[in-house]
Every structure is written in C-alpha cells, then in structure tokens.
Amino acid sequence: MKKIIITLLIVITFFIILGDDIVSEKREIKNDKKIVKVYIPDGTPAIGMEKMVSSKENIKDFSMKYEIEGTPDTLVAEVMKENPDISIVPSNLAAQAYNKGLDYEIIGTVGFGSLYLISTEGEAKLEDLKGKEVFGIGKGLTPDLVFKTVLKEKNLIDKINLSYVCGGTEILPAVLSGKAKYAVVPEPALSTLMSKNKNIKIILNINKEWEKIFGVEEGFPQSTIIAKKSLIKNDKEFIDLFLEKVEKSILFSNENKDEVVELFINNGGKINKDIASKSIENSNLKFKKAKETKEEYIKYYEILEKENSKSIGGKVPDEKIFYEG
C-alpha cells in the first residue's frame, strides 16, 4: 500500500506540472485495424500530440487507439498492468516500470523541465533570496527535489527557507494573496499567475539552470514516451514511423499554438483558452529520441536516486532502458 501511495504521489506531481485543467474522463479515438493502444496524460502532452491524435491516421498496418487519461491514478494503474502498448509518462515512472521488470523501455521524450522561480517583489537574482521564504508544491516530490538540487549546487540550500503547499490549486491563491512572495511554479500555473498579476517576474528558469550546472543540453526530462519491448522487437519500423509522427506533431503545436488549442478544445480537451498559447511557449515541449538524451536521463536519475531512490524504483536503470533507434 505504501509503494502504491508513493507512486501515485509521484504521478500526481507530474499532472500538477503539466496542467491543472485536466478532465476526469477519457477521450478515445480509434480505427478498425490491428490496434496499438497509446495512453497520453491530459494537459501539455495531450496538446503536443493533438495533431497526431486528431488525424486518425493509421501507421503501417496498425490502427492507432489513443486514450487521453485525465487522472494520475488511472495512468499509473494502466501502466503497471502493462495495458498501454505506448504511453507518455513522467520520466521517473518510466524508471520505476523498468526497474520493476515491466515490458517497457524509453523510446523518446516530448517535454523537458518547465519549472520556474517567480517573484511578486520585482526583479531579483537567486542569490538575493537569502533569508527569504520560497513556496513550492509537494515536499519531497520531484519538483522539490529538482529545486533543492539547484540550491545545493549554488550553496544556498541552508540560506533559503522552503515552505510547501499540496498542489497547483493551492499555489495560485498563495501567490495572488501575497502570502507567497517567491514560489517555484510549473506551467500552466505560471501563465495563469502572470495573466492575473502583471508585476510577477520570472527569477529563474530552473531547467536552464539545470543545463548550466550539469552541462547537459536539454536540462531534465519530464515527459517520456515508453513502448513495450515486445512491440519494438516485432516491428521496429512501426516504432520509427510513430516517432516521426510524434516529432511532427510536437513541431506543429509549437509553431501553430492558437490552431492546436482550437483543435484540442474542439476534440473535447479542457484548457484555459486565454492563457493556452503562452503556456505552450513556456512548457518546453520538445521531441528527442531516447538515444539522443541518455546523458540527460542518467544525470536526472542519479540525482533522484541520491535524493529519493524510491522515486525511480530504487536505482538508476541500466542503459538497456533506452531504445537505440
């Protein structure tokens, strides 16, 4: 029971990061051929995949069945039962699944870190926050571990006071009421806050700082594509074609923000239209093949292992977790 609770907390954090406007039901689009089931969490990943999902195109001789999961517990349950053939999951859940011996490996990434340190007190640098209180979401969960790692690397961990709220819905009123003058927030909370208070400033793009500290090109991976090893073994060509379409879909979302938001809403997606385009811009939607970002994953997993090994299933996965295509 304890392990299940921990896993759910980790994935709930992922949903907080990716969007508070999630729905409780599934959206399902399918055709009639041999079926490949693809599970996508609602929020930013679903927007990034919207062009691909709504096209209803088959890939090779497979019919693509997409399910948009609106709640974290259902996503965890489906992956742990190995129901999806392909799924987008939190990067640390990908490690958990692999370390549990499930039939999955990482084939790509569709999103990197989208955490930001903000201030309601005007422009400032991270070093200026010595002695100040900074609010975050979920003590001990991945956003907290990432921010603490940055503070440790900057020798500020004992010089800044950290306080916490439980979720994205609590960080918004804390900031807007003036209770939290400094906070670590994800998208779409960032865009929501900045639309309501024009005085809010971004002090630090935490993903960019991670890049500088650890010398990795893309920062830390956030939204990971996993696929069944058996599917990869049986049809590598299908996997490569699937990834090509993912890349095109992510590119479309970044280059046609307003259009993809309309498409997403028209197909049943739930999002705040007023901030959607800006939120996409700050969400760090980006496609990379697994073999291109091994260094980013390994560094991230090493940090999580050190800070909370349970978050990745006890250990850093070996490199067989990465698809080489």
| Domain layout of the chain by residue ranges | 2-113+220-321, 115-214
d(CA 9, CA 93): 11
Evaluate if residue 42 carries a pLDDT over 70: yes
d(CA 303, CA 208): 16
Region 77-103: mean pLDDT is 97
Evaluate if residue 91 carries a pLDDT over 70: yes
Evaluate if residue 20 carries a pLDDT over 80: no
Q: Comparing 17-26, 124-133, 234-243, which segment has the lowest mean pLDDT?
A: 17-26
Evaluate if residue 22 carries a pLDDT over 80: no
Identify the CATH assignment for 115-214 out of 3.40.190.10, 3.40.50.150, 3.90.650.10, 3.40.50.300: 3.40.190.10
Evaluate if residue 121 carries a pLDDT over 90: yes
Q: Comparing 17-21, 75-79, 161-165, 173-177, which segment has the lowest mean pLDDT?
A: 17-21
Evaluate if residue 26 carries a pLDDT over 80: no
Q: What confidence score (pLDDT) does residue 274 get? A: 86
pLDDT band for 29, please (50, 70, 90 cuts). very low
Instruction: Give the DSSP per-residue string, 242-294.
Output: HHHHHHHHHHHHHH-HHHHHHHHHHTT----HHHHHHHHHHTTEEEEEGGGSH
Q: How far is CA 274 from CA 38, 222, 293, in A?
A: 29, 25, 33
Q: What confidence score (pLDDT) does residue 17 get? A: 56
Give strand pairing partners of 135: 163, 183
Q: Same topology for domains 2-113+220-321 and 115-214, yes or no?
A: yes
159-173, 227-241, 264-278: which is most confident: 227-241
Which residue did the predictor score with more confidence, 126 or 18? 126
Evaluate if residue 216 carries a pLDDT over 50: yes
pLDDT tens digit sequence for 169-206: 899 999 999 999 999 999 989 999 999 999 999 999 99
Q: What confidence score (pLDDT) does residue 173 get? A: 96
**236 three-state secondary structure:** helix
Identify the CATH assignment for 2-113+220-321 out of 3.30.420.40, 3.40.190.10, 3.40.50.11610, 3.10.270.10: 3.40.190.10
Evaluate if residue 143 carries a pLDDT over 80: yes
Residue 123's φ and ψ, nearest 5 degrees, are -65, 145
Evaluate if residue 43 carries a pLDDT over 90: no
Evaluate if residue 235 carries a pLDDT over 90: yes
Residue 71 structure tokens: 């709640």
For 63, half-sphere exposure in the C-beta direction (CA atoms, 13 angstrom radius) is 9
Q: What confidence score (pLDDT) does residue 56 get? A: 86
pLDDT band for 1, please (50, 70, 90 cuts). low
pLDDT, the chain, mean: 90
